[in-house]
Structure 1
Amino acid sequence: MPSIQVSVGSVTGGIMALHASLWNQYYNQNNTSNQYRDEIDMLLKTDDGDVIWDELYSSALSDIQKLKEFSNATETYDPRLNLIAVALESYTFQIIYDAFGMAPYSEAFQGETTGNFNPKFERGEEIYPILVTKIDEALNLFNSYLDENPNANELRLDQRNKDYFFNGDITAWVQFANSVKLKLAMRNLEYDTDWSMGIINALEANPNYIGTDVLLDIFSAEINKENPLYAQDQNLNTQINLVANRTFSEFLTVNGDPRDSLIYEANSAGNNLL
């Protein structure tokens, strides 16, 4: 479980956050630095996609398959772990399909069992309903388990510190799973409006979404333990690299947007940078 969460968090909070924030003008590169010139010019390189693809498939999703197998094996059966695995799997595939449009799903991870090393590519809009069904199955399995084990709303004590997101709180994982379902339905709204609205209306009839930040809060200032975005940004010859984007920060200021002070703050070095 820890490796899955670190893998997904590092991709979404690292290279994907970097590109999204630069392209949406949330922040910019200081004019004395040149590390992100291609990104600022919106030049997407092949290896940018490779990093996302390789990390999510070979690390996160591969480990998720192992967690699902472990949680469903007779001797280690645990619907709580299965719910966590399915929720993370659905979230990860949603990231992949939103980013790439087409990717392997139904034939993925069959290399060792069937020798299929060239799985077919499928469209996200075809896979999202399958992911929602998988989440529902995992939720139903957990609810049945909870009926028989009323105190099963948390992982075992020895497992909780392996859950970086919610510290073993299964109630939070149920809310996270519902939130992923909502996101999948919204993503598919234009492709299959009736299906999407059915999912959305059912969720809204009994809303139970995650209401807290889903944080990967495990980083420190120690070498090899830093936030990956911070590490690639700061471990260079320059300490002034990414800064606030003037266009967006001034837009917030001029319009009196209260998010201004929450997103940006003055640089403590006194160099007029945010």
Structure 2
Amino acid sequence: MKRIYQYTTAILLLTFGTMTSCTKDFEEINTDPNNPVSISPSLLLPNAIQTVVDRYWGHSTRYQRLNIDAAMCWIQHLSRNIYINAEGDSYEIPLTISSGTWNSIYNESLINFERVKTLSAPGSSFENANYQGIAMTMQSFAFAYLTDVFGPIPYTEALQGTGEEPINSPKYDSQEEIYAGILNELMEANDLLSTDGPTVEGDILFNGDIMKWKRFANSLTLRIANRQASQKPAESRAIMAQILGDPSKYPVFENVEQAAELHHFDVIGSRNKMFDVFSTRSDWNISSTLIDKLLELDDERITVYAQPLEDGSYAGLPNGLTDAAAGTYNASRIGLKYLDPTAPSVLMTYAELEFIKAEAALDGDIEGDAAEYLESAIKASFRQQGLIMPDDYMSRIGGVTKESIMTQKWIALFGQGVEAWNEYRRTGYPVMPPPNPNAVFSNEGVLPTRIEYPSSEYSLNKTNLDEGISKLGGSDNMRTPLWWVE
């Protein structure tokens, strides 16, 4: 009996001990390490950055490539030799370009930058002002991208679907309101970003270099201010004066090496998206418009932008030709630099910043010599391509005018088709040649001024979409001009 009693007592003690142990370590034992309840900003940044960069620069999914299939063809950097009437070159694009651009940037990029801001806000689990500044800078870039291709978009009420008072049908803000918000956000981002502040991880753009983020934020501010200058001249001049007048507080790009560009690795998922497209398909040639201009200027950048033909010469393909007509041409393909899987995806360069200064100086928006800024911009563009600008190059461009500045900017923006398209729509430069007699264009023959809203907005947010279209000032088609057009 005694032995039975002792055995029973031991079992009870063991059971009690196990129960108390389970109770004490309950939360630790029942936490799934593969599904954390709190996630670090460093885990959200990489995909959020990658998504918006890929959408801006290349994107490899067919029927979703706004830059490659549409903008680079519309701006006549590239031309199509097949599928011309289905994928952009004829001014006709599939609706998936609109929906893919819209859904991906809102749902995979902007929402994650918003989470980074929340997680790193004062008093939060990962309090870190530098994470906030990075997220605000990239959000500004992404919102600017969206409004510059669509027009009015959800902005002030966007990204609030999981808030304390969820907004699942956000209103549309005008471009003027969006630009004002972006400029304020970028100014705040500069103030938050501190080289003396805490370190950040997961930064695939600048590898945690906060000074580079400050330079990008302030250079981007100048891009936005310059773009709206014809509509809000006094405000834009004040912003540009503020940035350029205090370089210690508002550093900007000062050389080619400080460009905002995402460097890639030769592994699946990380490769330059233009490599993914151009190395597997031969549907594109260099547009005759670009080739003819480079040949006219005896411009060595042609050796980087294009591959020579077998005889060593360069030839372009006119835009908008039928498949049959295009098949009769022997034209140069895109240069080998863009077939490199590790080639960078470019967001903004020092050359672009100098072109902005040249235009602003010519317009009287900033102090300085427009000719000096223009020469600096062209030199930077050559250096960006590993070349040296010839000493007599400035004598070839026909003086310092709005047209010469914007034409040179168009040449320098090769690869950044969306940005070149923005600037063409804003200024009307460069002057495009008459269409080839065999070209056939949709969209009433009008080079697209924007892209249409995705069909999902018509079914899910129709009331607010209608208000957004009213702020657009025209129909939801690809012929209505945007707010900042000069």
TM range (shorter): 0.7 to 0.9
> Is the partner of 2:79 in helix, strand or coil?
strand
Determine the structure 2 residue equivalent to 1:209.
Answer: 252
Determine the C-alpha separation between the residues in 2 that align with 1:138 and 1:86. Answer: 6
- Map of 1:1-274 to 2, 5 A cutoff? 1-14=45-58, 15-18=65-68, 19-30=70-81, 33-34=82-83, 37-74=86-123, 75-113=125-163, 114-143=165-194, 150=196, 152=197, 155-156=199-200, 159=201, 162-207=202-247, 208-210=251-253, 211=255, 212-220=258-266, 222-235=267-280, 239-266=281-308, 273-274=332-333
Over 3 Å counting, the alpha-carbon distance change for 1:203 and 1:241 in structure 2 is same
Tell me if structure 1 keeps the 8 A contact 2:84–2:90.
no
Task: Please identify, of 167-176 and 194-203, the stretch whose mean Cα deviation from structure 2 is larger.
Answer: 194-203
Q: CA RMSD in A?
A: 2.5
Tell me if structure 1 keeps the 8 A contact 2:152–2:172.
yes
Computing the radius of gyration from Cα coordinates, the structure with the larger value is: 2
Tell me if structure 1 keeps the 8 A contact 2:86–2:93.
no
Normalised by the size of structure 1, how large is the TM-score? 0.84
Please list every run of 5 or more consecutive structure 2 residues that lacks an aligned counterpart in the other structure.
Answer: 1-44, 59-64, 313-329, 334-486
Over 3 Å counting, the alpha-carbon distance change for 1:141 and 1:214 in structure 2 is closer
> Is the partner of 1:201 in helix, strand or coil?
helix
Quote how far apart the aligned CAs of 1:226 are: 3.5
% identical equivalent positions: 24
Tell me if structure 2 keeps the 8 A contact 1:87–1:135.
yes
Over 3 Å counting, the alpha-carbon distance change for 1:168 and 1:12 in structure 2 is same
Tell me if structure 2 keeps the 8 A contact 1:249–1:260.
yes
Tell me if structure 2 keeps the 8 A contact 1:165–1:216.
yes
Normalised by the size of structure 2, how large is the TM-score? 0.49
Determine the C-alpha separation between the residues in 2 that align with 1:194 and 1:138. Answer: 23
> Is the partner of 2:285 in helix, strand or coil?
strand
> Is the partner of 2:120 in helix, strand or coil?
helix
Quote how far apart the aligned CAs of 1:3 are: 0.7
The CA deviation string for residues 225-252 of structure 1, in whole angstroms up to 9 with x for no partner, is 44334334444xxx42222222321221
Give the partner amino acid of 1:61: L
Please list every run of 5 or more consecutive structure 1 residues that lacks an aligned counterpart in the other structure.
Answer: none
Higher helix share: 1
Determine the C-alpha separation between the residues in 1 that align with 2:231 and 2:218. Answer: 21
Number of equivalenced pairs: 257
Determine the structure 1 residue equivalent to 2:465.
Answer: none
